[in-house]
Amino acid sequence: MQFVRGLVLAIAVICASLPSLAHADEAGLRALLTRLATTTNFQETESVVRDLAATGEPAVERILSALADGNLYVRKSDQGVFTGKEDGQTLSLSDPLDGTAAGTAAKADIVKVKVNNALRRTIRDVMGGLTLGSADPTVRLSAASTMLKRPDKTALPALDAAIAGETDATVKAALAQARAAAVLVSDLGEAEKRAAIAVLANRGDSDALAQLTAFQAASTGALAETAARSVAQIETSMAAWQVAQNVWYGISLGSVLLLAAIGLAITFGVMGVINMAHGEMVMLGAYTTFVVQQAIRAFAPDLFDWSLAIALPAAFLVAGGVGLAIERGMIRFLYGRPLETLLATWGVSLILQQAVRTIFGPTNQEVGAPSWMAGAFQLGQLTITWSRLWIVLFCLAVFLLLVFIMKRTSWGLRMRAVTQNRRMAASMGIRTPWVDAFTFALGSGIAGIAGVALSQIDNVSPNFGQGYIIDSFMVVVFGGVGNLWGTFIGAMTLGVLNKFLEPYAGAVLGKILVLVLIILFIQKRPRGLFALKGRAVEA
Amino acid sequence: MIARRLFSSDRRIAVTIATLLAAAVIVPVLNLAVPAESAFHVPSYVVALAGKYLCYALLALALDLVWGYCGILSLGHGAFFALGGYAMGMYLMRQIGARGVYGNPDLPDFMVFLNWKELPWYWLGFDHFWFAALMVMAVPGLLAFVFGWFAFRSRVTGVYLSIITQAMTYALLLAFFRNDMGFGGNNGLTDFKDILGFSVQASETRSALFAASAVALALGVLVTWLVVGSKYGKLLMAVRDAESRTRFLGWRAENVKLFAFTLSAMMAGIAGAFYVPQVGIINPGEFDPANSIEVVIWTAVGGRGTIVGPIVGAIAVNAAKSWFTGALPELWLFALGGLFIASTLFLPRGIVGLWDRWQQMRATRAVPAEGKAAARTEPQPAE
Amino acid sequence: MSMSGTILYLDGVSVAFDGFRAINDLSLVLDRGEMRAIIGPNGAGKTTMMDIVTGKTRPDSGEVFFDGQIDLTRHDEAEIAMMGIGRKFQKPTVFENHTVEDNLLLSLKGQRSIFPALFYRSSAADRRRIDDILGVIRLGARRNEPAAGLSHGQKQWLEIGMLLAQDPKLLLVDEPVAGMTDAETFETARLLKDIAETHSVIVVEHDMHFVRELGVKVTCLHEGSVLSEGTLDFVSSDERVVEVYLGR
Ligand SMILES: Nc1ncnc2c1ncn2[C@@H]1O[C@H](COP(=O)(O)OP(=O)(O)OP(=O)(O)O)[C@@H](O)[C@H]1O
Ligand SMILES: [Mg+2]
């Protein structure tokens, strides 16, 4: 035991010092490259690969990956080795070490350095070890996770060395996990393996699960039992993460629903008017974003990251303005006739759709994402895309702003008064026509803002709004009118419900189920979750 | 006896029925017996088009029974129409027999394509016309009954009801798009060959289908007129105008509505059944909520709460649609959208209401005092 | 208090709307064949009491019995109407698009199911009954006109006519003479007294002349419960009633 530990330690020390010991200068690398030009069979190439890897130079990585991808060429005239990029009949060459351009060459003048699958495997393996020494922590991290997925007992010394030299805590943990995976496939003793199981159990994701399951299948006795326990433990925790993931998807969908529905909830709540053109207000917001981005691309490309911020007020004004025009020009003549308002606004929605189709064409428009919306990050085992996160946050901001307007401003007070008892409000001197116009414009403007956000996750086409309208209705009807919190809870419930039904029933059937559930729910509570009560409402 | 009552009390209805019956005879004759070069010849495509309009008219009439007379704005009547259509389509599919692309005598092509081994149970019986004809009414009627039983009992009214009828047809749209529902997925049912042993392509069959649609519409008019004119019809309108008052008189408003809703759904189903063999296809697109709303506008344009109105509206709007989509396809949606707005803002009682006003104005010019009195007491259909 | 012999029995009834107690521990008993006048300031809960009796509003607590043994809280509007409780609304509610005659036809006592209504043929007895009622409410000349064209007072009459057609055991009449001339008020009082010969009646009214004309026991409601009960003279001399009406 003592001996083994000593040996390991010794190897570790040697390995740890390897990169510096073997630190070859550029000339050494170039010499190795020349050898590559003269190899005649795969064994020779392999030995060059190993020698290259042994240098530990970061530049080697580029050479090896070019080799594995079949992009490494030898110029016949001078036996020079280059990376090449095919460019029609010619290749543009560049230096494999520093990447500087080295002119072009006709295909006939060069030969490819040949690789086969065995060689590719070798390259992959040595590269894992190689990148462990990279200066970039993200490269080291990905090397560690590759090694976790393909554990190799021969990599143990290199791993130990890397762990010893690692300063970044995250990378260090990942290395330890990779090492644990390697230990499980090694001939090390039971204690080591037990510790390794614990390390992997701690990681608790599907990669760790795969390693542990494989180990459990291959081993017997107490060790297998420990592994089984850990597998079970990981499975439970993964199930919990799955639930969390679903909740997140649900919240994210709920936010989309809320954004789309909240304007509708306001107009329906205050005016008792179902605005069938609401979806088109959302669409106008999305198209405003498109136009703003086109303008920015044309005149001020640097501002592109700000395009959404600029589009927000623009969309609010465009959609709000159109809403105001609809209210003044049409809806005010139809008060007290909600069903006819519904039909007339449907007419407006057809006209708006066709207008947009005539102006912008029927195809999808490309709305770009600013850089801060791109990509994703990892939270535990959750993958969260930035665009979704921003939409959730944005939705919350809009919601809270509206709650503030309704609860704390005099307009809000008037709107609530009209919601509760229109006639009474009117006789108290509130100008209900003004409140209606303002409400409708506000609801439409909010829809426009929603369009800006939704343009980031959906195709912008003339039918854009149609995709949201029925869902928005469901949210409003489910949540009940006259209460923003009802809309909020309605949207989130429906979002989460949808996402939980999806895995069992599939997306379409899940949606159908939700619709049926709402239809049944309305039977129980004809006025939604949070209904206003009172004579004025019943009349 | 009914005929006597009809002619003595309501000329307009009598004329409508007579016109439809006449068309059922004359149009086929002009199509089949008059030579193609004659000016009186009616080409086959016109017969098919007109037959389609008549089906739409029956659908609009069905909607009017619940909307115009009972105030239930259903945004899901297209679903009943489509269900009736599917029931007929299933019969027509079974008539194809082994003549499909795959030549399978037991299964329709799309099932062979999906690798199904046997006919699902709900396709059983559709080999028989009588069974399909029964289902054409039973399926929409049952759906309407169940849906209405829940909705009306819990007093879901107004826009809430409209929205959930829309959700109903939307849910069906999604469902019928699924291949594993067993109704042909998004291609629906098509490539029909025979109906009752006659080729659906033959001009004779087309003429016969037109005549049958006209007779069906005439029957629909008669039934609606009888229902609306009965004490129950008065009750229906009473529920429309003051639902809770009828309850305090001891009437079960929910049952009143349920009966009309179910009857109306069955009429819509029949309309769908006549529609499918004439257009040769039924697919989930018929469940599109937009279609159902369009039916509402036919009814509104013609004049809701009247029997002739929805028929006039359906034919007028669809004729306009055919013309527009041929001549100015870009503008059709503008026109349709404008129609929605204009008819609600300026024509709350539709073409028929306009006609009545015009007649009244003529009468007023003739006998000023009397006309004014009539205009004043003219009832306003409530929301 | 014994329930048998009573046509209407309310005990400890309370109902609140969003925390506001519209009816507060109300107890009221009406004997068979009795006519009762109910007065009280605006918002006293008179209409709400009728809502409770006719099944429109469910009480939060308390007992409501009809005809000695029927628990009204277990039935809905239509059932209660069928048992024999008729109601005239404070705001006259008639079927505006229907003719006066059809309004009565729909109210006429009898079958209330769909298919009989679908195949209904008017019988001589029904026609006679409608003629009678039209005579009583003096709308014979306007029988074929839509009710929308009637004046406010005429609508009140029509609604009373609909009550008569229903022929209920108990009539709840909410402010029947609002908007009527003195002569009409007097006529209405006479008509109600006629009806009371054979029916139990509750009349809600603010018009004290009219109440005096009826000459029956009076109950004064205030803030959802009974403030005072007795003859009109007794009630109107009750200090608390005076205080409530004149304000404190
Ligand atoms: N459905 C309801 N929702 C909320 N409040 C109600 C409801 N019904 C009645 N109220 C309230 O209960 C109180 C009693 O009303 P009610 O109509 O019974 O008074 P009333 O005695 O009939 O008055 P009036 O003489 O003015 O007709 C009122 O304050 C009213 O606002
Ligand atoms: Mg009152």
ipTM of this complex prediction, to 2 decimal places? 0.92
Chains meeting C at 3+ CB pairs closer than 8 A?
A, B
A513 belongs to a structural domain: no
Q: Both A250 and A125 in a single domain? A: no
Q: Which of B232, B236, B248 to mutate to test the interface with C (most CBs of C within 10 A)?
A: B248
Contact between A22 and A56 (Cβ < 8 Å)? yes
The burial of C145, by beta-carbon neighbours within 10 Å (0-12 exposed, 13-18 middle, 19 or more buried), is given as: middle
Q: Please give, rounded to a whole number of angstroms, the shortest distance from the CA of C29 to a CA of chain B.
A: 22
**Residue B380 clears pLDDT 50, i.e. is over it:** no
A325 pLDDT tier (thresholds 50, 70, 90): very high
Confidence of residue A536 (pLDDT cuts 50, 70, 90): very low
Q: Give yes or no: residues A299 and A443 share one domain.
A: yes
pTM summary value: 0.83
Q: Which atom of ligand 1 is nearest to the CA of C18?
A: 4
Note whether residue B53 is domain-resident. Answer: yes
Q: How large is the average pLDDT for residues B209-228? A: 96
Instruction: Please say which residue of A90, A114, A133 terminates a domain.
Output: A133
pLDDT band at A19 (very low <50, low <70, confident <90, very high): very low
Residue C79, token pair as written in the block? 């059932």
Q: What 8-state DSSP symbol labels residue B194?
A: E
Angle between helices A156-165 and A169-184 (to 10 degrees): 160
Which runs of E-coded beta strand occur in A391-481? none
Query: Hey, whose CA ends up nearest to atom 26 of ligand 1?
Result: C42
DSSP annotation of B284: G
In a domain, B377, yes or no: no
**Domains identified in chain C and CATH numbers:** 6-246 (3.40.50.300)
Contacts of B217 (CB under 8 A, 6+ apart): B20, B54, B57, B58, B61, B311
Tokens of C143: 């029988």
Contact assignment for A347 to B300 by CB distance below 8 Å: no
Confidence of residue A15 (pLDDT cuts 50, 70, 90): very low
In which domain, by residue range, is A324 found? 242-463
Q: Is residue B74 part of a domain?
A: yes
pLDDT of residue A18: 43
The residue written with tokens 């003339």 in the block is A462
pLDDT higher than 50, residue B372? no
Average pLDDT of span A252-267: 90
Distance, CA of C248 to CA of C165 (rounded, Å)? 44
Residue of C nearest to B373 (CA): C149
Residue A523: inside a domain, yes or no?
no
Has residue A526 been placed in a domain?
Answer: no
Contact C43 CB / ligand 1 (< 6 Å): yes
Q: Which of C54, C102, C145 sits opposite B234 (nearest CB)?
A: C102
Q: At which of A413, A437, A463 does a domain end? A: A463
Q: How far is the alpha carbon of B346 from chain A, nearest alpha carbon, in Å?
A: 10
pLDDT at A226: 85
Domain that holds residue B47: 2-370
B378 within domain boundaries:
no
Task: Report every protein residue that has its C-beta within 5 angstroms of ion ligand 2.
Answer: C 47, 90
Average the pLDDT over C222-237 and give the result. Answer: 90
Name which of A442, A446, A398 is nearest A255 in CA terms. A398
C44: Cβ below 6 Å to ligand 1?
yes
A100 and A246 in a single domain? The answer is no
Contact partners, residue B213, CB within 8 Å, separation at least 6: B51, B54, B55, B58, B274, B278
- Whether residue A82 is predicted with pLDDT greater than 90 in this model: the reply is no
Chain C interface includes B249 (CB < 8 A): yes
- Structural domain includes residue A485: no
Domain count, chain A: 2
> Cα–Cα distance between A89 and A69 in angstroms, integer?
19
Region A69-97: mean pLDDT is: 81
Q: Would residue B326 count as lying in a domain?
A: yes
A21: pLDDT strictly greater than 60: no
What are the pLDDT digits (tens) for B133-191? 999 999 999 999 999 998 998 888 888 899 889 999 999 999 999 988 899 998 999 99
**In-domain check, residue B365:** yes
The helices-and-strands tally (H runs, E runs) of chain A is 22, 7
- Give, using CA atoms, the residue closest to atom 17 of ligand 1: C47
Domain end call among A445, A463, A481: A463
Looking at the structure, tell me whether residues A300 and A441 fall in a common domain.
Answer: yes
Report the alpha-carbon distance of residue B29 to residue B363 in Å, rounded. 40
Mean pLDDT, chain C, rounded, equals 90
CA distance C138 to chain B (A): 19
Looking at residues A199-207, what average pLDDT do you find? 83
Residue of B nearest to C55 (CA): B248
Indicate if the pLDDT at residue A289 is higher than 90.
yes
Edge-to-edge strand ranges of the sheet holding A72-75 = A101-106, A90-94, A81-87, A72-75, A110-112
CB atoms within 10 A of CB A190: 12
> What would the mean pLDDT of A469-489 be, rounded to a whole number?
86
Give the three-state DSSP class for C178. coil
Percent of chain A with pLDDT over 70: 92
Q: How many structural domains are present in chain B?
A: 1
Shortest CA distance from C50: residue in chain B: B248
Interchain CB contacts (distance < 8 Å): A and C = 4
Is B376 domain-assigned?
no
CB proximity list for A433: less than 8 A, separation 6 or greater? A332
Query: Under an 8 A CB cutoff, do C117 and B382 touch?
Result: no
